[in-house]
Chains A and B, each alone.
Chain A
Amino acid sequence: MKLAAIALRNLARNRRRTVLSLLVIASGTAALLLTAGFVRFSFSGLEDAIIRGGLGHFEVVLEDEAALASTQRAALPRLADWQAVRAAIEAAPQVRAAGGVIQLSGVVGLGDRSSAFLALAVEPDRERRMGFDVKLREGEDLPGEPPAEGADRVLLGLGLARAIGARAGDAVTLMVVTPDGMLNAVDMTVCGLFTSGLQDLDLRLIKLHLASAQRLAETEGVSSIVVGLADGAALEPARAELLRRLSGRNPRLALLDWRSRAPFYGQVRSLYSGIFWFLGGIVFLLVCLSNSSALLMAMMERVREIGTLLALGTSRAGIGALFLSEALWLGLLGALAGDALGLALARVLNALRIEMPPPPGAVSGFPLQLELAPQDFLLATCLMLAVMAVSALLPILRATRLRIVDALGHV
């Protein structure tokens, strides 16, 4: 004879009530899973957008610049021996590619119209190897090969292009202050228009080949080297390998991972996690209150039976264990049903590819996709077990405090 078996049989006494409880628990579980799936999708989407948007998995900078924000680093492309560093990085087995980067700011003009810009100068062929994407809206991407003098090309952000009235094929003039404080201006051809995904950034952002930027800034150095890994999940092994390869260099170099360079991601993650746990708390409360009432009712219907069990010598803890077992069985069965329901609903929603509205500042929406991982099912199930344990507290308290004679006399 087993306590768990007795508990399960007790659940079958009032099937309607048990089914209702299971439905509540299953619904709560499915709700948690769908929320978790959305949150996980949001995180991975954001992570992907950040990394493939140009940040890469790692960034190599001069150690004394590591504490600077990237916009401050922009004025100082001091990483001189960068090709050798890049070669050492690309020799690491975890690395797919690495590319030099310069960030500049200046003014871009077409005719009488001009606008300030923030430039990201990259090695396009290496970016493509790293899987970075450019959301072109017009024209074509930057060429992979370094342009010859007089043949520099530039990609303009959508908003900036509109501000100066530029289209693909137009000749614009870029002017910057070089690192040693001198002005310089270079004519470039607009090869295309692109969007970063953020409206405000599109008003300022341009992209150009690293060689063009070096010509414009009159420098041979770079601000940093961006690194793209073959497997983003293997961040730590890659970090260890890269640190080994970068050690002993003079000047000393620092390795920054993408998270430290995108504090926005951490903030979004904290916000979403807070929202998730808040929603989880609400689900917890609703399931708890609903089932607490049902369990209490079930207990009240068995007061005389409890009295009998106590009279026969069952300990009060034994009575508590019986009701707790019943609650946990409900939690487990309901959670398993909820896991199945959540999985089915997630598959249906993913197949529908519902278009979500653009997030604040973004230019386009995205199809809803829920990502569920095994640990989500486990977490939801454990949460439901915890909920049911809490739900059982009041009935257990009442049951274990019954006076035997009163319980035996209960009608």
Chain B
Amino acid sequence: MSSSPILEAVGVHKTYHLGQTSVPALRGVDLVVARGDFVVVVGPSGSGKTTLFNLLGTLDEPDAGRIVFDGTPLASLRESERARLRRRQFGFVFQSFNLVPVLSARENVEYPLWIDGVPAADRARRVAQALESVGLGHRMEHRPDHLSGGERQRVSLARALVHDPVVVLADEPTANLDSKTGRAIVDLLARLSVERGTTFLLATHDPAIVEHAQRTVQLSDGQITADVRR
């Protein structure tokens, strides 16, 4: 599925300073992501995948270049505007799930709607749908420490999707899962991508994910070395 670009990175540079050392994480990255794309970013550790995702997801700012979301340059947004963008337009799936331990599965999924001020009745309906869509309707009231790794990642995925984001950024979503569970998650991601038309960007080492990718972007030493669309 290709359409107008939803995310654009133009000449993006990012360097991290660790004490006296400077580490260039991205060195002139250009990337255009179309609405509805299922993009997999591959590359070894330290290639800059996480950095790229942080920049695309408005979690950080480039040192040079620009990033544009749906025609709006991110650099022009204030902190609060970026936060609102993340609440409404972005979903995040983390490698370590990053669920709030004191909230149940339902409450974790509900969280993005709650902070956006969505009415309670509406929240309840959408949360139930989101959890059903990831196959966790029966475990809604359990806290994360009572869920398996796969279940936690499903909750994380439901949380990332509950507010109908335009873009979901998943950084190594299967890294902490066994292969069977990981495949199940990947299948789920692919299905949801098709069903919802949501733009997915996944960073991964996992070959199972690469299989499903419409487009694979190779990142090495902070630069895109390949960008293959099937």
Q: Do chains A and B touch in the complex (CB under 8 A)?
A: yes
The size bracket of the interface on B is 20 to 34
Question: Cβ of B83 and Cβ of A310 under 8 Å apart?
Answer: yes
Give every chain B residue within 8 A of A309 (Cβ-Cβ).
Answer: 100, 111
User: With contacts A313-B87, A313-B115 known, is A305 near B59, CB below 8 A?
Assistant: no
Q: B54 at the A/B interface (Cβ < 8 Å)?
A: yes
The answer for the CA separation of A308 and B96 in the assembled complex, in Å, is: 11
Assuming the contacts A10-B102, A13-B102, A318-B115, asked whether A312 and B87 have C-beta atoms less than 8 A apart, the reply is yes
Whether B214 is near chain A, meaning CB under 8 Å from some CB there, is: no
- Contact (Cβ within 8 A) A6 B102: yes
Tell me how far the C-beta of A113 lies from the nearest C-beta in chain B, rounded to whole angstroms: 85
Instruction: Determine if B22 is an interface residue (Cβ-Cβ < 8 Å).
Output: no
Q: Is the Cβ of B101 less than 8 Å from the Cβ of A13?
A: yes
Asked if A304 is an interface residue, CB under 8 A from chain B, the answer is: yes
Q: Does B107 contact A (CB under 8 A)?
A: yes
B102 and A312 within 8 A (CB) = no
What is the chain B residue whose CB lies nearest that of A315? B83
Of the candidates B54, B80, B86, B100, the one whose C-beta lies within 8 Å of that of A405 is B54
Nearest Cβ on chain B to A301's Cβ, whole angstroms: 11
The dominant DSSP class at the A interface is helix
Q: Quick check: is A1 within 8 A (CB to CB) of the other chain? A: yes
Chain A's closest residue to B171 (CB) is: A408
* Interface members, chain A 299-332 (any B CB < 8 Å): 304-305, 308-316, 318
- Is A9 interfacial (CB-CB < 8 Å)? yes
- Contact residues of B: prevailing secondary structure: helix
B63 at the A/B interface (Cβ < 8 Å)?
no
Q: Which residues of A contact B80 (CB under 8 A)?
A: 315
Across the interface, which residues of A come within 8 angstroms of B87, CB to CB? 312-313
B112 / chain A contacts, CB cutoff of 8 Å: 312-313
Residues on B with C-beta less than 8 A from A311 are 57, 59, 86, 92, 98
Docked pose: A403 CA to B60 CA in angstroms: 8
- Tell me the smallest distance from the CB of A403 to a CB of chain B, in Å: 8
Provide the residues of chain B in CB contact with A6, threshold 8 Å.
Answer: 102-103
Q: How far is the CA of A314 from the CA of B103 in the complex (A)?
A: 15
A12 to B107, CA, bound (A): 17
- Cα A127 to Cα B102 in complex, Å, equals 69
Instruction: Tell me the chain B residues, 19-36 only, with Cβ under 8 Å from chain A.
Output: none
Nearest CB in chain B: distance from A235 CB, A: 53
Residues of chain A having any CB pair with chain B under 8 Å: 1, 6, 9-10, 12-13, 304-305, 308-316, 318, 403-405, 408
Per-position 1/0 for B84-104, Cβ under 8 A of A: 111110101010001011110
Residues of B near any A CB (own CB < 8 A)? 54, 57, 59-60, 79-80, 83-88, 90, 92, 94, 98, 100-103, 107, 110-112, 114-116, 159
Name the residue on B nearest A314 (C-beta). B115
Contact: B83 with A313, CB < 8 Å? yes
Contact in complex: A408, B59 (CB < 8 Å): yes
Residue with the highest number of chain B CB atoms closer than 10 Å, among A13, A305, A309, A312: A312
Inter-subunit contact A308/B107 (CB<8 Å): no
Q: A10-B102, A13-B101, A305-B100 are in contact. Are A312 and B86 (CB under 8 A)?
A: yes
A114–B79 Cα distance when bound, in Å, is 90
Which residue of the partner chain B has the closest CB to A404? Answer: B59
In the complex the two chains form, what is the Cα distance from A313 to B90 in whole Å?
A: 9
User: How many angstroms between the C-alpha atoms of A381 and B17 in the bound complex?
Assistant: 47
A8 nearest CB neighbor, chain B only: B102
- Distance in Å: Cβ of A309 to nearest Cβ of chain B: 7
CB-defined contacts of B100 to chain A, threshold 8 Å: 305, 308-309
Residues of B near A1 (CB, < 8 A) are: 103, 107, 110-111, 114
Rounded to whole angstroms, the CA-CA distance of A9 and B143 in the bound complex is 12
Q: Which 9 A-B pairs give the minimum distances between C-beta atoms?
A: A313-B87, A9-B102, A313-B86, A308-B98, A404-B59, A405-B60, A313-B83, A405-B54, A1-B114
A257 to B: closest C-beta gap in Å: 57
- Give CA–CA (A371, B88) in the complex, Å: 57
Q: Is the CB of A304 within 8 A of B98?
A: yes
A408 to B96, CA, bound (A): 10
Q: How far is the CA of A309 from the CA of B102 in the complex (A)?
A: 13
Contacts of B60 in A (CB 8 A): 403-405
In the complex, chain B residues whose CB is within 8 Å of the CB of A318? 115
Please list 5 pairs of residues, one from A and one from B, whose beta carbons are closer than 8 Å in the complex, sorted by A's number: A6-B102, A313-B87, A313-B88, A314-B115, A315-B83
CA distance A304 to B99 in the complex (A): 10
Residues from chain B with a CB closer than 8 A to the CB of A12 are 102
**Given the complex, which residues of A lie within 8 Å of B88, measured CB to CB?**
313
- Residues of B near A403 (CB, < 8 A) are 60
In the complex, A316 Cα to B80 Cα: how many Å?
Answer: 8
> Do A305 and B98 have beta carbons less than 8 Å apart?
yes
Point out the residues of chain B lying under 8 angstroms from A404, CB to CB: 54, 59-60
Give Cα A1 to B110, complex, Å. Answer: 9
Give the distance in Å from the alpha carbon of A338 to the alpha carbon of B143 in the complex. 33
Q: Would B94 and A405 count as touching, CB distance under 8 A? A: no
Which residues of B sit under 8 angstroms from A308, Cβ to Cβ? 94, 98, 100
Residue of B nearest to A318 (CB): B115
Interface contact A316-B79, CB-CB below 8 Å: yes
In the complex, what distance in Å separates the CA atom of A9 from the CA atom of B83? 25
- Which A-chain residue is minimally distant from B92 (CB atoms)? A311
Looking at the assembled complex, report how far the CB atom of B93 sits from the nearest CB atom of chain A, in whole angstroms: 11
CB neighbours of B90 from chain A (8 A): 313
> Which of B57, B100, B107 is most buried by chain A, counting CB atoms within 10 A of its CB?
B100
Q: Name the residue of chain A whose CB is nearest to the CB of B59.
A: A404
A299 to B73, CA, bound (A): 33
Which residues from A are CB-within-8-Å of B107? 1
A115 to B181 CA separation, bound complex (whole angstroms): 106
Cβ contacts under 8 Å, A315 to chain B: 80, 83, 115
Shortest CB-to-CB span from A28 to chain B, Å, is 27
Q: With a CB–CB cut-off of 8 A, which chain A residues contact B94?
A: 308, 408
Chain A residues positioned under 8 Å from B114 (CB to CB): 1
Measured CA separation A315–B107 after assembly (Å): 18
B69 CB to nearest chain A CB (Å): 14
